Structure 1
Amino acid sequence: MTGKTYGYIRVSSKDQNEDRQVMAMEKHAIEKDNIYMDKQSGKDFHRPQYRAMLRRLRPGDLVCIASIDRLGRNYEEIQRQWRLLTKEMNVDILVLNMPLLNTRQNKDLLGTFIADLVLQILSFAAQNERENIRQRQAEGIAAARKKGVRFGRPPMPLPKEFPMALRLWTEGKITLAHAARMCNMAESSFRYRAIPKHNSQ
């Protein structure tokens, strides 16, 4: 008996656009209530919507994903989730950009062998590409730093009141606490951050 069809979408950050994956799901006429989407940062892999989908799945259901790397963040994770769905939960998977990975259509021994082989190749390639991207980014950042490019927020300028406050404090006319209040900063920031910065300019 053919079960329900679900779609799973994952984007790696809140700024990444999920429209491409949504459109792929719509082409397969998947009901909106059956589409689950997680947005996550690169640092964590908490997927509440994926877990919610797992709770609804029943044997014979079909899970559609846009590409194999939506299942996990690395080779081992992709393999683990594939086994969980197909072997332990008896759920079928369709990878939309690789129709050969359709466990519902390829149930015979040869089809299963081909699907498993393609899965291993694609999941390895997905992880390898992510590692190559990270390496290229690191090399680009290192090269930019050598050229003097600075990353992150530009340093905040000192308050315009700072020179006067520093002079009055240095001359002993006001206390450190008074000088810091004039600049709207903590005493430690005035003494250990602002003064060295001022002296280095």
Structure 2
Amino acid sequence: MTQTILYARVSTAEQTISHQKTQAEAAGYKIDQVVSDDGVSGFTTKLADRPEGRRLFDLLRSGDTLLVRWVDRLGRNYQDVTDTIRLLMRKGVIIRTVINNMTFDGATTDPMQEAVRDALIAFMAATAQAQAEATKEAQRAGISAAKRDERKYLGRKPSYSQGTLSLVTDLLSQGSGTSEVARSAGLSRQAVLRIKADPAAAQEVLSRWSN
């Protein structure tokens, strides 16, 4: 008896397995079983290396249908996705996507139809990888911007360390002059004067940069 297995993969908090199942059922698919991997990257982890991905390969038999929201659920690496789909087709498994309602199987023996099918698989797999790379680049840009904003919030990086600050405050408390303290600590007179004027503020700035 053949079955339809939905494979769902989620890698972020915004995605859910239940949503992928609901979306498939709303499209008219009758699902016999759901296999899912939660918190797994499709970019760095091959389907065969995922905990439930391995089980999926064991469950699928000739004539079964593997249902996915889109090919990016199988993976976001071009080579892995194309290899996986071709392997499953050779096994006699039908692969269907909820989005675009695409069907891939090994039923056809016509060379032209095979060429069109394989070209479409390649295009979809390449698109999945390109989208993943674009997302990662946007994330990197966002992190860099956040770091720049954080540095603006922190203000100018202090020219002294915790040890230097302690030395300055100790010398000042002993009545040492500004120039003498500056020479001993290796700081400018202006830096020493700022610390002298508000030692608590100097400590706060240093603490922010140390976190």
Correspondence for 2:155: none
Is the 1:72–1:81 contact (alpha carbons within 8 Å) kept by the matching residues of 2? Answer: no
Between the two proteins, the alignment pairs up a number of residues equal to 152
1:24-50 deviation line (CA, Å, top 9, x unaligned): 33230112xx21111124496352222
Stretches of structure 1 that go unaligned for 5 or more consecutive residues are 151-166, 168-196
SS in 2 for 1:60: coil
Is the 1:94–1:102 contact (alpha carbons within 8 Å) kept by the matching residues of 2? Answer: yes
User: Partner letter of residue 51 of structure 1?
Assistant: R
The 1-side partners of 2:89 and 2:66 are apart by: 10
User: Partner letter of residue 4 of structure 1?
Assistant: Q
1:199 Cα offset (Å): 9.5
Question: Aligned pair 1:48/2:51, yes or no?
Answer: yes
Taking a change above 3 Å as real, the CA distance of residues 44 and 77 of structure 1, as seen in their structure-2 partners, is closer
1:144 Cα offset (Å): 2.5
Percent of matched pairs sharing the same residue: 25
Correspondence for 1:12: 11
User: Partner letter of residue 200 of structure 1?
Assistant: L
Correspondence for 2:206: 200
1:103 Cα offset (Å): 2.3
- Identify the structure with the greater helix proportion: 2
1:13 Cα offset (Å): 3.7
Taking a change above 3 Å as real, the CA distance of residues 140 and 79 of structure 1, as seen in their structure-2 partners, is same
1:14 Cα offset (Å): 5.6
How is 1:79-158 mapped onto 2 (pairs within 5 angstroms)? 79-87=82-90, 89-103=91-105, 107-109=108-110, 110-148=112-150
Q: What is the TM-score of this pair, normalised by structure 1?
A: 0.64
The 1-side partners of 2:101 and 2:93 are apart by: 16
SS in 2 for 1:126: helix
User: Partner letter of residue 90 of structure 1?
Assistant: G
1:63 corresponds, among 43, 66, 69, to 66
The 2-side partners of 1:38 and 1:120 are apart by: 24
Is the 2:89–2:104 contact (alpha carbons within 8 Å) kept by the matching residues of 1? Answer: no
1:128 Cα offset (Å): 0.7
1:36-80 deviation line (CA, Å, top 9, x unaligned): 111124496352222212112211211111101111231111012
2:78 corresponds, among 55, 72, 75, to 75
Correspondence for 1:161: none
The 2-side partners of 1:82 and 1:143 are apart by: 39
1:85-106 deviation line (CA, Å, top 9, x unaligned): 112x2211111213233327x6
SS in 1 for 2:23: helix
User: Partner letter of residue 21 of structure 2?
Assistant: V
Correspondence for 2:188: none
Taking a change above 3 Å as real, the CA distance of residues 147 and 77 of structure 1, as seen in their structure-2 partners, is same
Larger Rg over CA atoms: 2
